[in-house]
Amino acid sequence: MNATLTQNEIDCWEMKLHTTLNREETLEMIVPDACPDILDIVDTEAAPQLQSKECGMGSIALMGTAFCTILYQPEGEGRLQRLKAELPFQFSAELEQVTGLSRCIAVPRVTLAETRAMNPRKVLVRVVLAIEVTVYDPVLVRFCTEIQERETLGIECRSERSTGNFVVNVKERPFTCSEVVQIPGSRPPVEELLSVRCRAYDSEARLVGEKLIFKGGAVIHLLYLSPEGQLSTADFELPFSQIAEVGETAENTSFQLDVMVTGCQARTMEPEGREVSLELELLAQIVLREKRELNIVADAYSIFHPGTPEFTTYVLPELVEQSSRRQNVREVLDTAMVPAEVCDVRVQAGQVRPVGGELCAEIRMTVLYRGEDGTCAAAARSVQVTCPAEVPEGAQCVASCTVPESDAAVTGGGIEVRLGVEFQMLVTRQQRLCGLSGFALDMDQAVASENQPSIVLRQLGEGETLWDIAKAYLTTGTEIEQANGLGTEPLKPGQMLLIPKKR
């Protein structure tokens, strides 16, 4: 007969895949008739917006648009001009780990945006995209925690306690944020909006019952032309407070929260250029992890009947580290002409890669500046930024970085850029534990004990436990303890033990 096992079931999600999908998009574009001819391309900025994602059986499809702003110097003495371009992108990858039930977290980034003038009326726009994709799949994990009626069947069990950090939910919460903002009196009014840059962050979050309550803000950076035709900037912050339904949670549930901007619109509200309407679309991506203490039956035998245990390997996810680390960066950019004033600074963070005991990310800095003759130009450079990160052997590190702080100033040797780079780390590991999956008993036979001596003295070997000896002689640990008057002190290798004959 097969003994009946008591099993604990956990509905959870397993991270099947973490990868970065890269793609390059190009677009040939004719300069509109209303715009003057191009003399020189000054800068190209692109903002990716992910519009849909779909997981199928063995494949994943991502669609979106890269919205580009191209600044150029026109022929003649005209003011700086802007072109707008939209580059649709579509990622379609064959990934065997993905199923129709998978849930996907995707974070798009632009690692490079550039424009080349093919002639004064035609340009080629190039955008390089990287989308970090993490795929979770639903799994039902079963553990044997007890054998029913084991006292009646004379079954002895050895249990092992372990801890698992299980992903219990993967959720998304889209929301919007809008406000009409005033250009500060210290800044010139808006004649023409050139680009809108937006970054979202969360400052406070907590679980309350079945809800995740989180607060934060969206930092908006406007680049615009004043009525005098000069480049100017203005910064605003739109706070938000949201509630996401995340289902039932336990006291020891932790979470990973990422808020990103999926849409951003800005327009001036009045002829004076002092009011700007901002409308944002945001998406909160949430991963919930629950820490559970597990008591798993690792081995079993019967002192009444011959028994055959069956084993399986359980995989328990372990959360090793979830942290954020900051690195400060200072770099001096060379310029094509002597800079008189910094107009704007823009930073793009690329993919984070583990290299040895460090995390390494490529950071691209672009500074718009005005020369002494009033001409606008751009200086750019990519640098490698590293962060110490010792990842234990066998562990997996999922890392990303953001640049929440950036500043630039004219120096004697060019333009000095100062950055605050934040590295986010999530380190997990898969524990493997051998446990019981079945136990078959031969009820027609009894364990033979006639040939066993009435008295057995046994020396405890190196690495042996009381369980090992009790199983070898088909007795119980309790009987050995009673026969030897053992207390709570641990046994030592070489210790002599009296093994009582099974009654």
In a domain, 1, yes or no: no
154-169 in b/e burial notation, b at 16+ Cβ within 10 A?
bbbbbbeebebbbbbb
- Which parts of the chain sit beneath pLDDT 70? 448-454, 502-503
Same domain, 430 and 469: no
Instruction: Identify whether residues 320 and 410 lie together within a single domain.
Output: yes
Residue 330 sits in the same domain as residue 226:
no
Predicted pLDDT of residue 486: 87
Whether 440 and 311 have beta carbons less than 8 Å apart is answered as no
Residues 160 and 249 in one domain: yes
Is 394 within a domain?
A: yes
pTM, two decimals, is 0.88
- Looking at residue 502, what is its pLDDT? 64
Record the tokens describing residue 319, joined without a space: 């959360």
Q: How far apart are CA 192 and CA 350, in angstroms?
A: 30
| Residues 401 and 423 sit within 8 Å (Cβ to Cβ) | yes
Residues 40 and 59 in one domain: yes
Residue 2 inside a domain? The answer is no
> Tokens in use for 38?
């191009």
Give the start-end residues of each E strand in 303-375: 307-333, 339-355, 358-371
**Statement to judge: residues 214 and 246 lie in one domain:** yes
> Is residue 345 located within the same domain as residue 377?
yes
Q: Which two tokens stand for residue 125?
A: 């726009």
Residue 42 belongs to some domain of the structure: yes
DSSP labels, 423-435 = EEEEEEEEEEEEE
Residues 282 and 388 in one domain: no
- Are both 195 and 265 inside the same structural domain? yes
Classify residue 144: in a domain, yes or no.
no
Helices (H), 241-312: none
Look at residue 375 and give its three-state secondary structure: coil
Cα–Cα distance measured from residue 385 to residue 330, given in angstroms and rounded to the nearest whole number: 11
User: Dihedral sign, CA of 110, 116, 121, 122?
Assistant: negative
pLDDT at 6: 92
**Is 4 a domain residue?**
no
Q: Which of 88, 111, 138 is the last residue before a domain boundary? A: 138
Residues present in the chain in total: 503
Q: Do 248 and 131 fall into the same domain?
A: no
Domain boundary among 262, 295, 328: 295
The answer to whether residues 345 and 417 touch, using CB atoms and an 8 Å cutoff, is yes
What residue type is assigned to position 340 of the chain?
A: A
Per-residue pLDDT reduced to its tens digit, 100-111: 889 999 999 999
Q: Three-state DSSP class for 151?
A: helix
Clarify whether residues 319 and 373 are in a common domain: yes
Q: For residues 191-217, b (16+ Cβ closer than 10 Å) or e, as one string?
A: bebbbbbbebeeeebebeeeebebebb
Count of domains for the chain: 4
User: The domain spanning residue 455 has which CATH number?
Assistant: 3.10.350.10
- Do 21 and 106 fall within a single domain? yes
- Domain assignment present for 414: yes
**Does residue 413 lie in a domain region?**
yes
The domain of 164 spans: 149-295
